[in-house]
Structure 1
């Protein structure tokens, strides 16, 4: 019996169909992509097709059947791995991979337990289509004789691919005008362009970013300089210089969100020390993290520079050689010894390189600490011994000093040794949320010991201690468990509010003399640099920065997230929807419209500064 005769076009079409259907299933089951109408659902359904038709269509130009089959199978496997990489990344970060993130390979060895936690036993199901394709190819090799494809058939195939691309982009542009020029939100790109086309666009953006520095010149700073000078707010004269000459200790509190403050688990306070510290500090209850894919490193970048992080990757990796005008450098010019303290590898997040650009005099890393297995867990040294050893190091620092401390224990996947568990686990379907409360409670206890150690060693009275949450700890993938804990639905409005992180400004001799205050104004990490420098008596009027002094009576209550969402005193704009803070319900978009141009301008200006390394041209 002879072999069946089939055109060369059959196998790539089968491969396209299998990966198309799998991708759509992944959209609906593994990503949380908001669909508001039938048009958006249709775009989501068809958006993988054009890319898949083009990429598998390349096989039609290959000479031998063996090379064609190898190409089709290899391409299917590679694209499946890319899709799966996005799935695992999304499980924790609620975000999609970018090219700069893939380049951050030096971090992978340190990810350890966090990465493994997001890989599940049933993940083999994401490769079932690859297995099906493999058996189809074997069947074809044994039973099918391919008929050479005619030029007219090949032309028709690629015309169909092009038609699908134009149809997809036309619908996307109608649904989201100026999609590629106005959006900073990767979910919107994936929803409208598809995962694979999004990655192609990401490669284009990376090449564009690399070219921007080479083409940049100082003239681009003129408009930016005019903009930031116009938005500068004068510091409060009663607060300016109130901590001048004191040591500045800034503590980056890993993954600490505000919803745990003054809250409990089964009657046990989650943060008893911090709750009490509110009475002796300036506590900002509407303070938001503004990090992107760089997470902790982004929060450091915001703190030091009052510039926004990039929408893709981490500035610490992509632009570590940039000229900066950082807070550490400014305090160094004022006679401060400047350092950062982090009991981890120097190269993690490229810190050893980036910290030189920031202007630190010294980086106290893992080699400066006595780290043993007994005092380590998860990502490294436990917070309590970290604080203890850090105070010992502070004693030998030149005075006055500025040091930034980065904690580790309250890090995903939030695991603790039994002796460090001060409260019971929460009981929900999310092990991540359940354990989170325990690691937060441990960090709170470590902070209590830290404050006492500073007092015992005579460092407390002449220091200002600033503590802030660096980014979220509980992603939107745990919304069901969060709804159980909060007792309400986690809407996009609530999700935006969950991005609040604590900010404590504790000034011995000031706030612990009855001047502690809960401040409700809206602020974000972008505001830290001008706020702290003004407290230290350093004027920032001539700085290129986008933040405003939080203590200034003229501070505008307006913060921008990296994806283009924003929050004001009255409104929350997220996922293309305007919400009233008073009702927590959607309202007419016209209420939020006046702020949108400012959002685009600030993010765009900040990106220009970073991508073009524009501060190398600036002289204040």
Structure 2
């Protein structure tokens, strides 16, 4: 065995160090030296072990390690661009969906990412390069290499200790690096699986919830025995509602609808990795998303207490409508777990007039109305959950649909903001056709209708787009208060006058709000949300698209700091920022307790 640590191993460490710097700067926009050294330590130790192998085996393993880290690095950057979250090994479960969402993947790809793989050419040509390069003076003695392992192990131990004292996934990544973050995530997941299942019931939860209600319950049973229609709008954010560009409204149909409905402008998405399917799950269960695991995977084959099950007990027929293949995000299992009577997917909606991942919203609504009319003619009261798709990233509308959207000034041409506004404008147009069809079918006045945005949509990855959106908002674009703010509009039957309800809410609050209007009794149900029409105050937690520990109450948004007892508040009223105080840290502990309780409840379901 050579007494030297091979030249190829030395260059591999250097190469991976450069890549980790590139990824870290792409995500963090700064370099944490201690975190960088910890990341290099995580990479150095396996390279040390590989180097003790002989000849070609060593070269092969070094190549595989380099290739895996290179792929992981590119994936992490693209993943963060879209999700604003750190990629983990758990996301590999959804690799089979990459082909389906290839348009979104291509939209995120940048040609410079290929530089992450350029050094792999050296491995392929190594035999020839070795003849040409004298590496004898560039090798490191084995004693020195082994001596390096000691501080590397210490850096890893220190990094893990520091990461254990922080809530934010981004800060954990900054402390550990990409590879180290995977190991710590895996350890955390194993620990969660080994925890004993706890018995969690409505009484247990009620003692730990923090949302006081109004004494005189408003709108209770105002929609009793009425049809229920809930429309989920893809990627629609709240700042576009009631917004004018020039003299034109971006969402004239939603604006008209909210004038005769209860409109909740301080409403936020709470989805995790499952995005749209997570929104479907949360809306129908009032259970928080896990974050890194899509809820369709987490509750697969489990029986979940839900709005569809509750309504079935009250004599409703329940159906969900989604124009993509039902197997995408395992929705076939999701709908079965939620207890829907039937679902309609691509098989029913067909493949005419395609936009994004399914038929156009116009065709979705048109074919959905046929089924709703059939239910009415059969004398069935029904619950229909309709999932619109046309405003999906990367926001590419056919020319025939662009003519139906708002005319934008020239400065929006070839911008992500312009494409996004056009897509939402089309989604609004299609929703307008749906409202008219409901009126013609005699279903509009006889139904409780709720409309909400599932999750954020706007991507502001360059200076042009950032300036455009700040012009629209007349203030900086906040990563929580703007980016995660989606609309909720609820039309109560027999209520003609609209009202703005300023109570802060999230997706978990839709089910209990709807249940109150229908007169459903949730006393014995495990419901993590709050009836927004009868709450003086509210506290909602957000994870995945914002660091775990992020929450919003009636007065401010809280963002966790680098340790568990630090953070900052951003006031809703004027966006002023201040450090955390005792009350906000106490609320942080409350929201973390509720999120953990929700996670334990999901695991306990049979």
Aligned partners of 2:67 and 2:120 also within 8 Å: yes
- Aligned match of 2:176: 193
Which digits, 9 at most, give the CA deviation of each residue in 1:333-353, with x for residues without a partner? 111101100111010110001
Matched position secondary structure for 1:497: coil
Matched, 1:392 2:370: yes
Instruction: Return the alpha-carbon distance in structure 1 between the equivalents of residues 443 and 177 of structure 2.
Output: 55
- Aligned match of 2:36: 45
Matched, 1:88 2:68: no
Aligned partners of 1:469 and 1:502 also within 8 Å: yes
Displacement, 1:226?
5.4
**Which stretch shifts more, 346-355 or 320-329?**
320-329
**Which stretch shifts more, 525-534 or 579-588?**
579-588
- Aligned match of 1:435: 419
Which digits, 9 at most, give the CA deviation of each residue in 1:591-612, with x for residues without a partner? 52231111110111111112x2
Matched position secondary structure for 1:323: coil
- Aligned match of 1:344: 324
Matched, 1:102 2:92: yes
- Aligned match of 1:378: 356
Displacement, 1:155?
3.5
Matched, 1:178 2:165: yes
CA gap 1:120/1:150 in 2 versus in 1, 3 angstroms: closer
- Aligned match of 1:70: 60
CA gap 1:78/1:49 in 2 versus in 1, 3 angstroms: same
TM-score normalised by the chain length of structure 1: 0.88
1:250 corresponds to which of 221, 230, 233: 230
Matched, 1:568 2:559: no
- Aligned match of 2:594: 602
Matches for 1:438-477 after TM superposition, within 5 Å:
438-475=422-459, 477=461
| Runs of 4+ with >6 A deviation | 145-151
Aligned partners of 1:101 and 1:314 also within 8 Å: no
Aligned partners of 2:549 and 2:591 also within 8 Å: yes
Matched position secondary structure for 1:499: coil
Aligned partners of 2:19 and 2:70 also within 8 Å: no
Instruction: Return the alpha-carbon distance in structure 1 between the equivalents of residues 24 and 400 of structure 2.
Output: 42
Matched position secondary structure for 1:109: coil
Matches for 1:92-491 after TM superposition, within 5 Å:
92-131=82-121, 138-140=128-130, 143=133, 152-153=143-144, 155-169=146-160, 172=162, 178-179=165-166, 183=167, 185-212=168-195, 215-216=196-197, 218=199, 224-225=204-205, 227-228=207-208, 233=213, 237-372=217-352, 375-397=353-375, 399-421=380-402, 422-425=405-408, 427-428=411-412, 431-475=415-459, 477=461, 481-487=465-471
Which digits, 9 at most, give the CA deviation of each residue in 1:268-314, with x for residues without a partner? 21101111222111111111111111111111121111111012120
CA gap 1:284/1:478 in 2 versus in 1, 3 angstroms: farther
Displacement, 1:368?
1.6
TM-score normalised by the chain length of structure 2: 0.90
Aligned partners of 2:235 and 2:457 also within 8 Å: yes
Which digits, 9 at most, give the CA deviation of each residue in 1:558-602, with x for residues without a partner? 221112211112211125322233442221311522311111101
Instruction: Return the alpha-carbon distance in structure 2 between the equivalents of residues 140 and 489 of structure 1.
Output: 60
- Aligned match of 1:550: 532
Aligned length: 586
Displacement, 1:13?
2.5
Matched position secondary structure for 1:101: helix
**Which stretch shifts more, 142-151 or 482-491?**
142-151
RMSD: 2.7
Aligned partners of 1:94 and 1:476 also within 8 Å: no
Instruction: Return the alpha-carbon distance in structure 2 between the equivalents of residues 188 and 430 of structure 1.
Output: 34
CA gap 1:351/1:222 in 2 versus in 1, 3 angstroms: closer
